[in-house]
């Protein structure tokens, strides 16, 4: 009798711990998505050097406290249109404040996952790995400023944000009750297609980040051609030389237009590849019993991403569209991760 009561108590404790952890993870997920979009807003409004030091702003906690130094910097650069202004400083610091808060939430998540690992019956390793990723993200945030927006560092910061989002989503899915399928085998058969879609989306996110951090989004302003040609002059060697300054080649000379064109066209070609791969995987998922809604969501999000990408070119990179494009990439990545998780669960049942 006592053993049965103990077992029921542990089961109830496990459910309560999962609910708590699930809520924390859900909150952190939403916060991370907002932070990814906020980071895009900071980058696209040229506010990345609004506070040229780290972690404070000219050595102060807020831009208002650093108002005198910011005013001097604005005067030295000849006006508000340079890299420093009070508005840009606030945008940069708000991003840092939210990132710091997210880091604290993730520390709490890791603490809960570690302390309640027995009743959760889950390894805390993934939550601890998430803490390591967040620490690395903090370093990337510091280097973004102190190394003056080097494209490789800024792109790494974006990729780290997407990785944080992905790990949080995976942990959140682990707390959810597994779905019951009439036949798990068709869902399990989606595992390798799902992995292919995930890799394709991840590579495209990297290419999109490389476009953004090199300010190559408007290297081609026409569609479907680029600069009036199907294949204009390109320079992949300089465009994809990763260890260099912003706007410079590896030897320090000005980055030529052909390099920016190569970066832009690579993202366009990647978009075609993602459309073919994710479109096929989404269609196949749509036709799979028990998981069709997820396939429909993937196809819908893929369509939205394409329309946002085309709109960036058609309308010369309007800020709301460009920010939404970053958020859409995270959501499409999330849907691919959900498909991977569900297909992996089904594979264990087969």
pLDDT tens across 292-306, in order? Answer: 999 999 999 999 999
Question: CB-side exposure of 308: number of CA atoms within 13 Å?
Answer: 19
Predicted pLDDT at 8: 55
Query: Which pLDDT does position 350 carry in this prediction?
Result: 72
The whole-number pLDDT of residue 9 equals 57
Q: Answer yes or no: 92 catalytic.
A: yes
pLDDT of residue 6: 56
Residue among 68, 80, 92, 245 flagged as catalytic: 92
Residue 232 gets which letter from DSSP?
Answer: -
Task: Characterize 141-163 residue by residue with b for buried, 16 or more Cβ atoms within 10 angstroms of its Cβ, and e for exposed.
Answer: bbbbbeeebbbbbbbbbbbbbbb
**CB neighbour class for 95 (10 Å; exposed up to 12, middle 13-18, buried from 19):** buried
For 105-117, the pLDDT digits (tens) are 999 999 999 999 9
Task: Of 315, 314, 283, 318, give the one whose Cα is nearest residue 298.
Answer: 283
Structure confidence at residue 15 (pLDDT): 80
Which stretches of the chain drop beneath a pLDDT of 70?
A: 1-14
């Amino acid at each position: 009798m006592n053993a049965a009561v103990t077992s029921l108590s542990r089961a109830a404790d496990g459910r309560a711990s999962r609910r708590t952890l699930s809520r924390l993870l859900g909150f952190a997920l939403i916060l991370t998505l907002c932070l990814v979009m906020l980071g895009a807003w900071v980058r696209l409004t040229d506010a990345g050097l609004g506070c040229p030091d780290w972690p404070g702003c000219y050595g102060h906690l807020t831009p208002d406290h650093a108002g005198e130094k910011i005013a001097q910097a604005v005067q030295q650069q000849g006006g508000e249109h340079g890299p420093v202004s009070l508005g840009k400083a606030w945008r940069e610091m708000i991003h840092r404040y939210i990132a710091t808060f997210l880091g604290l939430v993730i520390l709490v998540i890791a603490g809960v996952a570690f302390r309640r690992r027995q009743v959760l019956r889950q390894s805390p390793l993934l939550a601890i790995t998430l803490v390591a990723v967040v620490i690395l993200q903090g370093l990337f945030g510091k280097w973004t400023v102190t190394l003056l927006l080097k494209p490789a560092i800024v792109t790494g910061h974006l990729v780290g944000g997407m990785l944080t989002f992905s790990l949080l989503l995976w942990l959140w899915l682990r707390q959810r009750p597994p779905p019951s399928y009439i036949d798990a085998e068709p869902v399990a058969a989606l595992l390798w297609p799902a992995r292919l879609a995930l890799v394709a989306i991840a590579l495209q996110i990297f290419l999109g980040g490389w476009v953004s951090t090199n300010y190559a989004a408007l290297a081609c302003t026409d569609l479907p051609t680029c600069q009036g040609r199907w294949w204009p002059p390109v320079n992949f060697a300089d465009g994809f030389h990763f260890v260099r300054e912003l706007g410079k080649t590896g030897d320090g000379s000005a980055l030529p237009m052909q390099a920016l064109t190569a970066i832009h066209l690579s993202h366009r070609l990647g978009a075609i590849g993602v459309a073919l791969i994710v479109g096929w995987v989404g269609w196949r998922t749509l036709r799979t019993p028990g998981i069709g809604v997820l396939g429909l969501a993937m196809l819908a999000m893929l369509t939205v991403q394409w329309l946002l990408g085309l709109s960036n070119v058609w309308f010369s990179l309007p800020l709301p569209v460009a920010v939404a494009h970053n958020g859409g990439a995270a959501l499409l990545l999330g849907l691919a991760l959900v498909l991977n998780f569900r297909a992996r669960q089904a594979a264990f049942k087969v």
